[in-house]
Amino acid sequence: MSRIAESQAELTMEYDRLKELKAFDDTKAGVKGLVDSGIVEIPRIFIRPSDELVEELTQGKSTLHCPVIDFSGIEVQDHRKKVVDEIREASEKWGFFQLINHGIPSSVSEGMIDGIRKFHEQDAELKKKYYSRDIKSGRVRYESNFDLYQSKTANWRDTLNISLLHSSHIEPEEIPAVCRNEIVEYINHVTKLGETIFSILSEALGLKPDHLKDMECTKGKSVVCHYYPACPQPELTLGAANHTDPAFLTVLLQDQIGGLQVLHNNQWIDVKPVSQGLVVNIGEALQILSNDKFVSANHRVLANGVGPRMSVACFFNGSFAQPKIYGPIKDLISEENPLLFKEFTVTDYIAKFMSRPLGTSALDLFRL
């Protein structure tokens, strides 16, 4: 009997899901704790529904590739226009692209990946003091599956969260010492890069370069540092379920293991790691601001039999500190392009997004 057939048979048996979820949560050791305990079969809470598993078997392999854009020379007008055109096309058709020659030194990126590894692989007792499911508990939290009790299936990953939602400044002492310097340095670099990307996106929408920055889209960041341990049964689970991002923009640093996929033309496309590259994707909030000109694409992360895989997502969420009303940019509205969305505040949008299981968009709640 195949592993998938075995899992289907197991899923027909009665079990106390809530009890298993709580038992996992109470360990405060995350998925890495399961691996360290020597398991050879994954707990049932991580096994995907049987219909999903069967569907995976029927899907073919696509030969398409996520766009890769060279960011060097954007201060030169001719090359900048080329980059603007490429990012416009990628944002309209894919909602995803990879950047090379983006200006973040390899020493900073590699240091960040190494710092995240050190945090997640330190003694479990040292990590536990940061463990919390309460997003209001502090600016630095460690958890496994933010939607553990809402989702149908738990994901095979642990996460260190750094919140810069209400202030871009964080005291270094708040960040775990084992990865403090690396995180501070990376945040400084990715913040500057994010502002540059927003200026290019503004031009891609036919606006002045500072338009999105002036709307405070570059504010309210959160940095999530994911750790995906090697999985003994990777075909039965996911590292991250199919989802979109509620932010305006996400800049993702990933290591070379791979597993990230984007849904394009109803096919899952591998976003293969590019040496020294960064993945950028449009969030739901920017899809609203662009009045559907840009798209926020579904994406997921496969579980791997090798690992650990590490990634760092920087979400640019917009203004949290002072409630600000966002909505489709008026310059983009016309008789040919009528208003498609209601206005929103970031806090309201993210609250609605987070109240749903991962994989459920909030766009429909704001569409007219």
**pLDDT at residue 1 in the model:** 43
For the cut 60, the answer to whether the pLDDT of residue 7 exceeds it is: no
For the cut 60, the answer to whether the pLDDT of residue 6 exceeds it is: no
Lowest-pLDDT choice from 171-175, 197-201, 351-355: 351-355
Q: Distance between CA 229 and CA 233 in Å, rounded?
A: 12
Contact 255, 295 (CB under 8 A): no
**pLDDT at residue 3 in the model:** 53
Dump pLDDT digits (tens) for 58-109.
776 778 899 999 999 898 888 999 999 999 999 999 999 999 999 999 999 9
Dump pLDDT digits (tens) for 10-59.
555 567 999 999 999 999 999 999 999 999 999 999 999 988 888 887 77
Section 249-259 average pLDDT: 97
Q: Confidence class of residue 138 from pLDDT cuts 50, 70 and 90?
A: confident
**Which H or E run contains 240?**
strand 238-243
**Higher-scoring residue by pLDDT: 75, 121:** 121
pTM for this structure? 0.93
**pLDDT at residue 41 in the model:** 96
Percent of the residues in the chain that have a pLDDT greater than 90, as a whole number: 76
342: Cβ–Cβ under 8 A, 6 or more apart, which residues?
327, 366, 367, 368
- In the sheet that holds 221-228, the strands lie side by side as 68-70, 96-100, 278-282, 249-254, 309-316, 221-228, 158-164, 140-143
**Which H or E run contains 173?**
none
- Pairing mode, if any, of strands 278-282 and 249-254? antiparallel
Domains of the chain: 3-366 (2.60.120.330)
Section 320-324 average pLDDT: 79
Q: Confidence class of residue 165 from pLDDT cuts 50, 70 and 90?
A: confident
